[in-house]
A and B are shown apart, each in its own frame.
Chain A
């Protein structure tokens, strides 16, 4: 754990320094989105990387979180801080209702079930008048002259710097929680369940319960990301919150960063979010789709040439340097495989 703590500190320090070095809105925007999606990736990684249940429906929890805080503020003027927690609880409740019957499904059947749940929730929100249906909610903006305390209370800022730090705190808390979980008894139980459901059950682990706990935590974290995202963007609609594209974006950056590793999501997000932001800024204005075309092409190239994800490259390099130090010991290859 000591080595990992060092890496974590370095990552956090770099991200914390960015707003001091640059005031470029494009860069800061990329950092904020990067942190939000890295946190989402951590949440997804818990259920898929550790517990081995592929979810294609995390957009559902993300959307529920965003809608809970936005609706509470929009309708009743309640601070997003309360909405954020409440959104997490509602998302966890939805996760419990949906997961418990679904956990007996294996592999792809579970994945398609999560996708189906997300689509159903989207359809409900599209035609639900109370949440403004397909029109979406524009979060009311507080006066520009408000002081910092009020801005913090209502989670609205004129600049991007506070957002970077809020997201960084959120991400740090989540990654510490995840690495704690990974090394706790529960983490080992989950890995046992991932490797073999039956064997885990035979040695006295209750797979359904542990998967359920993980799903609740995962949904809660995703919902908080949703609330933060909604407050940052200040506008949400069902199509952008609940879309399969959001779910797939989470899957994409986690898998290509390194699934089942706490650093996977942040590595994946650090590559893919700036990449998509950069292509969008450079090419997106034309409305011709060139940016997403190139983005798609890059995804194909990375998957084809580095199928183990970016962490695969890091591991390969680490192995090579290790080999050079130890010299000729053949055992390393076998132990590093996952």
Chain B
């Protein structure tokens, strides 16, 4: 009975990790840029939801589109302000630029809003639970997981079916050829960065209902997203989805079996084991 409860919690958390990872996977796969500031985008989205709730009394669920749009714009601006200048630079320069950005955003949040932990206590979803059989699940988690699934599926459909999505795929395969085919790769890169931001925009608004909000809130999710993207195989959205789910489950089950202090160690260990069998991730080729 307790194991079912843990698996349910793990899967619900896994869907949120999946959404964060899908966002990271997009920029990583299409532009080959590891965005260290991904977690900070998430943190900013959480703060957006928090301030809309505490100043304008707008529920995080209603503020979600605003958060998404805001982080989308932030993503596009990041591309034009920073990434565009470093994308052709050798080696790890682009990564360091995003590392600088992450440091800047984290400390900007601390400067503006102090390092205090903040909570959204009385949103629409908070305090409610649902019982399925003998499993009790919190309403915030269910809503977050459901919205994460919708967003992930929407992105997959967008990449697979729309013209822009196909252009993104083409650019990921070969930038120069895509350019010769008449694709404006700069625009595609900007859109990709924006969508990547939108993913964490959604995730952040949803997570703000049941996670504390503080400047360093995003750092952990950056690292977990790196691992889940690598676990799934770079540039593979389906891989990122499953990577997120595996990590959610590993965290919940590992925490139960070996103690919560080791839950992330278990997550990283699973990556190291999987990578021995599939050196390019589960879905990599």
Contact = CB atoms under 8 A, between A and B. Distances in A.
Interface of A: 54, 101-102, 104-106, 108-109, 112-113, 115-117, 119-120, 123-124, 126-127, 244, 248, 251-252, 255-256, 259, 287-293, 295-300, 303-305, 307-309
A106 B275 CA distance: 11
13 contacts: A102-B272, A105-B275, A108-B28, A109-B230, A112-B271, A115-B223, A116-B227, A119-B223, A123-B262, A244-B219, A289-B107, A293-B103, A300-B101
B34 interface: yes
Contacts of B226: 112, 115
B230 A252 contact: no
B110 interface: yes
A68 to B, nearest CB: 20
B130 interface: no
A304 B78 CA distance: 12
Nearest to B278: A109
Indicate the size class of the contact surface on chain B.
35 or more
B211 interface: no
B92 interface: yes
B261 A126 contact: yes
B96 A127 contact: no
A287 B107 CA distance: 10
A123 B264 contact: yes
Q: Which 7 A-B pairs have the closest CB atoms?
A: A299-B100, A307-B89, A296-B104, A296-B103, A289-B107, A289-B110, A116-B268
Contacts of B86: 303-304, 307
A120 B99 CA distance: 22
Interface majority SS (helix, strand, loop, mixed), chain A: helix
Interface string B40-75: 000000000000000000000000000000000000
Contacts of A305: 85
A60 to B, nearest CB: 12
Given A54-B92, A115-B226, A299-B103, 5 more contacts: A288-B110, A288-B114, A289-B111, A293-B108, A303-B93
Interface in B215-274: 215, 219, 223, 226-227, 230, 234, 259, 261-262, 264-265, 268-269, 271-272
Given A251-B92, A255-B91, A119 B268 contact: yes
A304 B265 contact: no
B111 A290 contact: yes
Contact of B99 (A105, A115, A248, A288): A248
Contacts of B103: 292-293, 295-296, 299
Nearest to B273: A101
A304 B97 contact: yes
A248 B106 CA distance: 15
A163 B115 CA distance: 34
Nearest to B233: A109
B133 to A, nearest CB: 34
B104 A113 contact: no
Contacts of B259: 127
Interface in B95-147: 95-97, 99-108, 110-111, 114-115
B93 A120 contact: no
B97 A299 contact: yes
B175 interface: no
Nearest to A255: B92
Contacts of B114: 288
A264 to B, nearest CB: 12
A303 B97 contact: yes
Contacts of A303: 82, 86, 89, 93-94, 96-97, 100
A295 B280 CA distance: 35
Contacts of A101: 272, 276
B230 A108 contact: yes
A252 B103 CA distance: 12
B264 A292 contact: no
B281 interface: yes
A308 B89 contact: yes
B182 interface: no
A303 B34 CA distance: 15
A113 B93 contact: no
A115 B111 CA distance: 29
A314 to B, nearest CB: 16
